[in-house]
Amino acid sequence: MRTRFLLVLCLIPVLAQAAQVFVELQNPPAIAYWHEGRKGVQSLALARSQLAANQQEQEAFLAEVNRRGVRAQEIYRVSRLLNGVALEVPDESLEVLRSMPQVKALRLLRPKKPLLATAGPLVRAPQVWNRAYTGRGVRVGIIDTGVDYLHRDFGGPGSGYSSNDSTKLGDAPFPNAKVVGGWDFAGDNYDAGSDTPSKRTPKPDPDPMDCGGHGTHVAGIVAGFGVTKEGATFPGPFSLATPLADLAVAPGVAPEAQIYALKVFGCSGSTALVAQALEWAADPNGDGNFADHLDIVNLSLGSDWGSNDDPDAEAANNAARAGILVVAAAGNSGDTTFIVSSPAAATAALAVAAAVDSGAVVGAFEVLAPQNLAGSYPASEADFGPDLATLGDRQGLLAQPQPGEELGCEPFSPASAAALAGKIALINRGTCTFKRKVLNAQNAGAIGVLIVRQDDGDPFTMGNDTSITASITIPAQMTVLSVGQRLREYLSQGVQVRLTARYRNQFLYTNRAREDTVASFSSRGPRGDLVLKPDLTAPGESVFSAANGTGREGVSLSGTSMATPVVAGAAALLKQARPELAAWQLKALLMNGADPWLFGREKGQEPYHRVSRVGAGRVNVERSVSTPILLYASESPQAVSLSLGLLEAGQAASGQVKVANLTNR
């Protein structure tokens, strides 16, 4: 049993100017001696021997750090996928560490952040369920904020969240039939980017309960069972006949896959613990034998401007050597070249960009009159002011301010105030915060506000403006441009509307024109060295999945964080269908089977997005399961894509793509 140094320096508060670094030591990681295709006694013995040697090297290194008087706070150690120690040290000690003979490389840890039910049908998952491939027997690690295993979507009881002690096991049913294992590497108070030194030190425990909400949503997209409208766990069966429209929360893409909750975040903030969780995924029981590795890990996290030599990217590449398919989010920094995030930038990782689905589960408001306009229309609510579910419906005539005041960013003129008093104000989005608009309408005497988007994108929760301290006492909802335009056409006839919460997370808003367009927030490629990234695209805007701490409810969230688990779920279906394939072959099949056309503004209309910006296309798992042919770059199978790098004008380059027949016919 290895010892752990309680360094004297750990008892001394870390200086304000401190750096978090990964110190790579000279020995190779244990994975260097493991060969996925040759799991014999010799391979296992060599890997275990190297694991022991690495642990001894780390002990000796930390003893030397202590001897040299370096004030260091240990964050974690890894020996399997990387060989090194993550430390927090004063800036002035970096050169001391760099000069030590045991140190192979010293790299700054870049804290990763989380990258915030029609997705399944769009990627053709039900068609694959119909062939009895539901992810059964496939093990997926969710490296994230944890998982609320009490939620009905994961077979939990739907209660007990508030009374759960998140530092120990035994007071809640974990593991269960869905969330079969995991670990909390962080502790609830951990935040790698905190100004408080104590928060930058993780406090691991065995209970990976989610307190941030992100991981629960992600896990539901990958492999949730689904929740009925009565609030029970959906029992199946899973096929084309599954009544998706009649469920409160639809099943995940691979509803019978198993989940491992690997919690690397506290309740908020960032993390530097990704490599540690990847190492757990490669060797869950810690015995040095990689044969029990997880099949897939989902990384809906990252940091911009990713590179292949980021420590987490290197760990991802080595996890792939162990046989794990690493599926990672490309990032949410928009249409900027080279900004694709790490660890998605790892050559062997499957980097996922976000596209738009044709449908989103949102809320709605009602038009009561005139009769030819009556009905329910898509809408979202505000994250400030009274909750409509508590306040009750708010009904009234719709009115708009005077021309030139439609944005509502300044106090309304007397004429506009007279028009809005006692009515529901129709105001355009833009220029100022939602709360400012609602406050100005409230001061003008309005009894509610309906804000109109500038386009037909999905309605989203209107964020708070904490700089405004005035109390908001009237409710507000947001709708889309086409609805707002129609309402304005009928204002002279007297439009009666009802703001309501009764449709909350139950109204399906469909916009076919936006299907397969790339989400505006999705980070673009290629990688900084011109290697092709992202690799693949999946629906990631307004994806509906399990809501943390609610027991049985769902919520819509957007981000490459939501696109990534769609692909991880698709990979689980493919793994069940093709269990003999290696991780890189699964990656290749998912890319080979993608629908290639992704659009800039409207489905079927130019501009088309290039492979170098968003990858091979939108995932189509039915095609990937069915194809007998595998294509990949022969010189770099784990990359799959053929990248020619930076070429000078007039310079020629070539590469080879290998075509393999998977049927032997």
Is the model's pLDDT at 112 over the cut of 70? yes
pLDDT (average), residues 426-434: 94
Three-class DSSP labels, 540-560: CCCEEEECCCCCCCEEEECCH
Average pLDDT across the chain, whole number? 88
Q: Provide the phi-psi class of 146: left if phi over 0, else alpha when psi is between -120 and 50, else beta.
A: left
Strands 476-479 and 448-452: parallel
Cβ contact 368:497 at 8 Å: yes
pLDDT of residue 395: 95
Q: How far apart are alpha carbons 284 and 297 in whole angstroms?
A: 13
Task: Note if 641 is an active site residue.
Answer: no
pLDDT by residue (tens digit) across 628-645?
989 888 888 888 877 777
pLDDT (average), residues 63-74: 93
Is the model's pLDDT at 23 over the cut of 90? yes
pLDDT of residue 599: 55
pLDDT (average), residues 241-265: 94
pLDDT by residue (tens digit) across 560-570?
999 999 999 99
pLDDT of residue 106: 92
pLDDT by residue (tens digit) across 137-181?
999 999 999 999 999 999 999 999 999 888 888 888 899 999 999
pLDDT of residue 606: 59
pLDDT of residue 16: 42
Task: Note if 35 is an active site residue.
Answer: no
pLDDT by residue (tens digit) across 308-343?
989 999 999 999 999 999 999 999 888 888 989 999
pLDDT of residue 579: 96
Long-range contacts: 124-127, Cβ < 8 Å, 24+?
124/620, 124/621, 124/622, 124/623, 125/253, 125/254, 125/569, 125/570, 125/573, 125/621, 125/622, 126/238, 126/239, 126/240, 126/242, 126/244, 127/240, 127/622
pLDDT of residue 504: 84
Supply the CATH classification number for the domain 113-358+517-628: 3.40.50.200
Q: What percent of the chain has pLDDT over 70?
A: 92
More confident residue, 68 or 644: 68
Catalytic residue (one of 151, 214, 217, 293): 214
CA distance to 452, 453, 460, 487, 505, per residue, from 482 (Å): 9, 9, 16, 9, 21
Cis before 175? omega within 30: yes
Lowest mean pLDDT segment, chosen from 287-301, 463-477, 611-625, 636-650? 636-650
pLDDT by residue (tens digit) across 346-374?
999 999 998 877 666 788 999 999 988 88
pLDDT by residue (tens digit) across 498-523?
999 988 877 777 666 666 677 778 88
pLDDT of residue 633: 84
pLDDT of residue 9: 29
Q: What percent of the chain has pLDDT over 90?
A: 65
CA distance to 405, 418, 443, 509, per residue, from 411 (Å): 9, 13, 8, 33
Lowest mean pLDDT segment, chosen from 114-118, 307-311, 588-592? 114-118
pLDDT of residue 189: 95
pLDDT by residue (tens digit) across 532-542?
899 999 988 87
Supply the CATH classification number for the domain 359-507: 3.50.30.30
pLDDT by residue (tens digit) across 389-423?
999 999 999 999 999 999 999 999 999 999 999 99
pLDDT of residue 5: 31
pLDDT of residue 665: 53
Is the model's pLDDT at 113 over the cut of 90? no
CA distance to 127, 132, 562, 616, 647, per residue, from 598 (Å): 22, 30, 18, 9, 26
pLDDT (average), residues 5-26: 59
CATH number among 3.30.70, 3.10.450, 1.10.3470, 3.90.1570, domain 8-108:
3.30.70
Enumerate the domain spans of the chain.
Answer: 8-108, 113-358+517-628, 359-507
pLDDT by residue (tens digit) across 378-390?
899 998 999 999 9
- The kind and range of the H/E element at 613 are helix 611-614
Lowest mean pLDDT segment, chosen from 15-19, 73-77, 108-112? 15-19
Is the model's pLDDT at 105 over the cut of 80? yes
Confidence of residue 31 (pLDDT cuts 50, 70, 90): very high
pLDDT by residue (tens digit) across 226-236?
999 999 999 99
Catalytic residue (one of 93, 307, 561, 643): 561
Confidence of residue 8 (pLDDT cuts 50, 70, 90): very low
CA distance to 17, 178, 467, 537, 567, per residue, from 562 (Å): 35, 20, 30, 11, 9
Catalytic residue (one of 43, 79, 93, 144): 144
pLDDT of residue 586: 97
Cβ contact 450:476 at 8 Å: yes
